[in-house]
Chains A and B, each alone.
Chain A
Amino acid sequence: MNEGYVVRNLRVCVRDHVIVEDISFTLSPGEIVALAGASGAGKSMSAMTPFGLSAGVASGSAILDGIELVGLPERQLSRVRAENIGFVFQQPLTALTPHRTVRQHLQEAAMQAGGSKPDKTAMVAMLDSVGLSRPEERLAQYPHRLSGGERQRVLIAAALAHGPRYLIADEPVSALDAALRGEIMALLVRLCRERGMAMLLVSHDLAGIEHHADRLLLLEQGKVAESGTARQIATSPATDYGKRLMAATPRLSERLPPLPEMGETLLEAENVHVHFPKPGWGRGRIDAVVDASLTLAKGETLALVGGSGSGKSTLGRAIAGLGSMASGLISWQGEALPLRQRRSAEHRRLIQPVFQDPLASLDPRWSVADIIAEPLRWLVPEAERDDRAADLLEEVGLPRDFATRKPASLSGGQAQRVAIARALSANPEMLLLDEATSALDPLVADGVVALFGRLQRERGLSLLFITHDLALARRAAHRIAVMEAGRIVECAPREELFANPQADATKRLIAASG
């Protein structure tokens, strides 16, 4: 009979706003279809609303195995969810009920479609199949004892426990550490193929899904911009949006873009150690950075790559004098820079930071002009500041009249450009870019990366480019340093690093980004 999930002219409204309009697609048994696009494009809304799991109201048609879901009363919709579908959500940290054990979650999930209570062997097998280590122990554990990746594995096991034929995964890996993303995604795909399940996959990360999905829908502002087989869209997108999006997504397989020439060495960091006391009165410390050394030349971009907790941000902050340093030496053109508390405004001028979260980087109560002029407060007379601020706005590609705005009225990309203008106003020699593009949508992020490139050429800036994204590092940096557990395990020019990776951590990162 008419098996599969067929969506025709789906429209989703939240209150009176139309979020998604005129979306149609088909998910056949055993097939993997991905919804991709920037945040706010309506991907999750399209996937979740027909099942009654979003704040939106659906109209149009969404037929699952012959049952029309749009307009179905919640009681019956609930049965459809229980019997046919497994859901995996974005936030593994909060999607498990804190006071219920792994065993209780699995039992509930296995019995949701009317199945019998699973015994211990069955539950161990479920955890085993999602690659969770020591499954017997895990059954009695509460969620807070598990890491993010482990929780996501438990959630996947729970989603599969009742043997559904459809899996709906809403950004299943984007909250996880970069090194884990590929692995969990591969796990989901393998489970689908093994069990003949169909999967509707929602993701903003094109590079992460294009190898896995059979078909792909690119969504832009609530509408389908392009759809087709994943291979076709990845290799030869038909629409302008598709082309721009594909070009904006870094891949390890792409041709290396040229980078500007570099000059003499400016910055040297030698044997940097950073540790923090463990919280509380007890003794003990956390070694965040261990014996890290690096150099940076004029006009050079050095990428610092590693998973979360690898110490890359901590090392960056120690270098910029924005974090503590237990021992080590930071020198600029051969002259030692003092420790954090001793650095003068002139020392600080040299290295300016740009952070990950653009809105949190700007004081919500200050105007854009005041934010940009903050470093000038200590360098330039007041009368000149507003002019300088407006010039800098232009330099980062924003209109001059943004000067009077407040941060709350800016988009993420605009806010990040304001943060960059603030960094430039100090007239720096070097920028510390701490995941400066990873909170932005692909097209916006690509624009910001291009801006960094232009600033580097025009101003001869050196860039310390901290990122978890190896493909982005490959695209943007002359040299790449890989960090793991506080140590720099490998540092090499980009061509060399990929041609002949030495450290295990590097090999693992390359494999995970492939």
Chain B
Amino acid sequence: MKPALIIVALIALAALLVPPLLPYDHIAIDWDSVRVGLFADGHLLGTDDLGRDRLARLLVGTRVTLSVALAAAMVALVIGVAWGAIAGWVGGRTDELMMRIVDGLYALPFMFVVILLMVVFGRSILLVFLGIGFVEWLTMARVVRGQVIALKQRPFILAAEAAGSPARATLLRHILPNVAGVAVAYLMLTVPHVVMIESFLSFLGLGVQEPLTSLGILVNEGAEEMDMNPAALLLPGGVLVMLIACLTIAGERFRDRLADAAK
């Protein structure tokens, strides 16, 4: 778990801190050095065919991808925890109805729904993460609901009731703190998933729009010139795979550790 988190942290820090230090930003066009190779004219990774600094674009793209992912994962967290906690806590018919809705939404070809939303409402970055967050909350809701139901049957909840604790206090003091660990684990697993979706949409030209850039856009651009310049595909692709893999590993380890601790 540790090395994976360190890699993610390093990538995130570089994406956050390095761009201001570079002589070029990600949209500045250097007319004197269009499509130059590594280390030429102060461009560490060269420039693309519009003369934009590849390193700056890579770092900014990473930043955009990560922030979209984080924001969307937060949306998923809020909706998912609220939905799952209410369904699990209230129980009975309410629970049944709420979970049927989740089941129904699960059956949606959700990537296409997101695409549909993008097409219909135009391509804004806000919509990208709202749309993704809106489909990503389902798993969170299921997990949280299961957890809440398991907790609700634990006798300490009954003991709290016997102690005179009102239902709201029990929910806030006993249930939610005990759900927090699992919610964080699934938040960690949602982030790489969203990274994947955002890049996918951007790759198709449906996600983040110019002048902003993202890893998906860079992969798309790289794929077009890969025969001449493989690094243009390999670098953003490599960073993307690294991010997704490391976030997944960290999230899974954290989840497994929680499960072991519960035994």
Contact = CB atoms under 8 A, between A and B. Distances in A.
The answer to whether A and B touch directly, with their CB atoms under 8 angstroms apart, is yes
A444 to B, nearest CB: 18
A361 B156 contact: yes
Interface string B149-186: 00000111011111111000000001001100000000
B162 A353 contact: yes
A374 B177 contact: no
Interface string A313-345: 000010011100000000000000000000011
Nearest to A361: B155
Nearest to B181: A365
Given A355-B155, A357-B155, A364-B178, A377 B163 contact: yes
Nearest to B97: A281
A259 B153 CA distance: 34
Contacts of B49: none
Contacts of B162: 320-322, 348, 351-353, 375, 423, 426
Nearest to B93: A281
A378 B96 contact: no
Contacts of B156: 360-363
Contact of B164 (A280, A345, A362, A365): A345
Contacts of A374: 159-160, 163, 165
16 contacts: A317-B158, A322-B158, A352-B162, A353-B162, A355-B158, A361-B155, A363-B156, A365-B178, A374-B160, A374-B163, A375-B162, A377-B164, A422-B159, A423-B162, A426-B162, A426-B164
Given A349-B164, A378-B165, A363 B155 contact: no
A357 B155 CA distance: 8
A360 B161 contact: no
Contacts of A423: 159, 162
Given A322-B158, A357-B155, A363 B178 contact: yes
Interface residues of A, number: 32
B151 to A, nearest CB: 9
A328 to B, nearest CB: 19
Contact of A377 (B159, B161, B165, B174): B165
Contacts of B155: 353, 355-357, 360-361
A353 B177 contact: no
A460 B102 CA distance: 53
Given A364-B178, A365-B177, A378 B164 contact: yes
B163 A355 contact: no
Interface string A363-384: 1110000000011011100000
Contacts of A349: 164
A267 to B, nearest CB: 15
Nearest to A344: B164
A179 interface: no
B159 A353 contact: yes
A477 interface: no
A355 B156 CA distance: 9
A419 interface: yes
Contacts of A379: 164
A317 B159 CA distance: 11
Given A374-B163, A419-B159, A360 B154 contact: yes
B164 A375 contact: yes
Contacts of A321: 162
Which residue, B96, B156, B161, has most C-beta atoms of chain A within 10 A? Answer: B156
Q: Is the interface of A mostly helix, strand, loop or mixed?
A: mixed
Nearest to B161: A322
Contacts of A365: 177-178
A286 to B, nearest CB: 14
Interface in A166-222: none
A426 B165 CA distance: 12
A288 to B, nearest CB: 16
B99 to A, nearest CB: 12
A172 to B, nearest CB: 25
A381 B261 CA distance: 35
A378 B163 contact: yes
A281 B92 CA distance: 9
A219 to B, nearest CB: 25
Interface in B13-65: none
Interface in B64-101: 92-93, 96
Nearest to B155: A355
A514 to B, nearest CB: 32
A232 B155 CA distance: 41
Interface in A424-453: 426
Nearest to A349: B164
Contact of A353 (B96, B158, B178): B158
A293 to B, nearest CB: 23
A-B interface, 4 closest residue pairs, ranked by CB to CB distance from nearest: A345-B164, A355-B155, A375-B163, A378-B164
B210 to A, nearest CB: 48
Contacts of A375: 162-164
Nearest to A374: B163
A183 to B, nearest CB: 30
Contacts of A277: 92
A228 to B, nearest CB: 38
A422 B158 CA distance: 12
Contacts of A356: 155
Contacts of B92: 277
Contacts of A322: 158, 161-162
B163 A281 contact: no
A351 to B, nearest CB: 8
Contacts of B161: 322, 348
Given A345-B164, A348-B164, A422-B163, A281 B96 contact: yes
A423 B161 CA distance: 12
A365 to B, nearest CB: 5
A361 B153 CA distance: 10
Contacts of A281: 93, 96
Nearest to B174: A363
A429 B92 CA distance: 33
B158 A348 contact: no
Contacts of B93: 281
Given A363-B174, A364-B178, A355 B164 contact: no
A95 B174 CA distance: 35
Contacts of A317: 158
Nearest to A280: B96
A277 B93 CA distance: 10
Nearest to B180: A365
Given A357-B155, A374-B160, 10 more contacts: A281-B96, A317-B158, A320-B162, A348-B161, A353-B162, A360-B154, A361-B154, A363-B160, A377-B163, A422-B159
B100 to A, nearest CB: 10
A355 B159 contact: yes
Interface string A297-325: 00000000000000000000100111000
A344 B154 CA distance: 22
Q: Which of B96, B161, B163 gathers most chain A CB within 10 Å?
A: B163
